[in-house]
Amino acid sequence: MNYKPATLYSLLTLIPYATMAMSPQKMVNQTIFMPFFVQPTIIVNQNNLVVQAPAAQKQESPYTLFSKETVSPTQAYAHYWTRGAQKNITELSWAAGKNNLARVDQLLKAGHDPRIPDQNGKTALSWAAGNGNEQITNMLLHNPYFTDRSVNPNQKDNQGKTALSWASGNNFTTIVTALLKAGANPNTQDNRGQSPLGWAASKNLSSIVEILLNAGANPNIPGNQGTTPLQWAASYNSIESARLLLGAGANPNLCDQSKQTPLSWASSKGYSEIAHELLTHGANPNFCGEENKTALHWAAGCGHLDIVRLLLAHGADVNACDDFGDTPLIWATRSDSADVVLALLSSGAETSIRNRQGKTALDIAQKPGFEKTKTLSAFTLDRARKNLAQALLISADWSSPASTCI
């Protein structure tokens, strides 16, 4: 059977399964926010930046490039400063990134413009917000010396991120609150379509999620791949964030471009608590995603017994067939998940269903050279149980007193 590699193995890049038979399509892995992250160096010509300082400050350039100076950053971020001599960071951004409040104050007073970005498009506000420095953030939002030079909180860097994105991803609640109060848009999206709410949900930063939702963040805002904050929460097992999102009206049945729902992600990864929350908030256990696979296909194929039982209890079709004619029982057999096979058989899974190759689950379990020993034992045990039940039923019929008619 020729399955799509992207379908069968993409989740291996997120969480490996020793016996995984399948997995949804790859969800873009998120890297959250380190201050002073320097992209490949772009040489910036200072003459291209026309910045006028106040007349009294003409002798001090309001835009300083560290092309010749030796910068001594904090030890934690030193490795980001070793790529070549020219960093193209404004002096104000450098001071904000190093949490140097006194220097930021001096530079603002001298007329340095905080709106000027560095080579990555980041302003001093993004550095301060990403570092969690409340004092510098407020000083940049409300320039005490030049009111017309306060930073726009919605200014984006080259990645499309705003200061709110950086603060949200790094769990700085007071900074997030200050930015929102200053007019930051909670529904801004970066170049990948990711919103601050999506960043926070993926890391289970429930306090940030709550603040953003209360400020009007859209719980159903999709990214470039159709991924919603709830899907990020489900994919990363962010249970508290998932509860907040569902309580705010997040739709549990929205699917991404790979036709996976939050329930599909939770089921494939074994996140039973999130799966339960989704089901109790109306997630459809029989939603057919890519190749017509249901959440039960994912759970069975990945050997997640708790979720298999949960889905069956909520009405999942135990004999649903995907585009290849495979049932959850066939997927569980392929992964040799004996306990899942028993659970499916006990819930009425048909052993006679054949896929498009004409194979039943038992055929697959008995394939020479690829015998599924655990699963074969499960089939044997199930057959013995059914034979015993049939024998007991026959015995009960024989021992029943004959009915009499009056």
Q: What is the pTM of this model?
A: 0.75
| pLDDT score for 398 | 58
Is residue 196 within 8 Å of 188, Cβ to Cβ? yes
DSSP state of 47: G
Q: What is the pLDDT of residues 160-199, one digit of tens each?
A: 999 999 999 999 999 999 999 999 999 999 999 999 999 9
Instruction: Name 310's Cβ contacts closer than 8 Å, sequence gap at least 6.
Output: 272, 275, 276, 279
- Beta strands per DSSP E along 31-70: none
| Sequence-ordered list of residues with C-beta below 8 angstroms from that of 1, at least 6 positions apart, any chain | 324, 355, 356, 357
**What is the C-alpha to C-alpha distance for residues 188 and 184, in angstroms, rounded to an integer?**
8
Q: Are 23 and 9 in contact (CB under 8 A)?
A: yes
Per-residue confidence in pLDDT tens, the chain, 406 aa: 444 433 433 333 333 333 333 333 343 443 333 333 323 222 222 222 223 233 333 333 332 323 233 223 232 222 233 233 435 678 898 899 889 999 999 999 999 999 988 888 889 999 999 999 999 999 999 999 998 888 999 999 999 999 999 999 999 999 999 999 999 999 999 999 999 999 999 999 999 999 999 999 999 999 999 999 999 999 999 999 999 999 999 999 999 998 999 999 999 999 999 999 999 999 999 999 889 999 999 999 999 999 999 999 999 999 999 999 999 999 999 999 999 999 999 999 999 999 999 999 999 988 887 777 778 887 887 776 766 656 566 655 555 555 443 3
**3-class DSSP assignment, residue 381:** helix
The pLDDT, as a whole number, for residue 175 is: 98
Largest Cα separation within the chain, whole Å, is: 120
Class of domain 12-19+259-264+285-392: mainly alpha
Instruction: Burial-class residue 352 by CB neighbours within 10 Å (0-12, 13-18, 19+).
Output: exposed
Going by the DSSP 8-state scheme, the letter that residue 161 receives in this structure is -
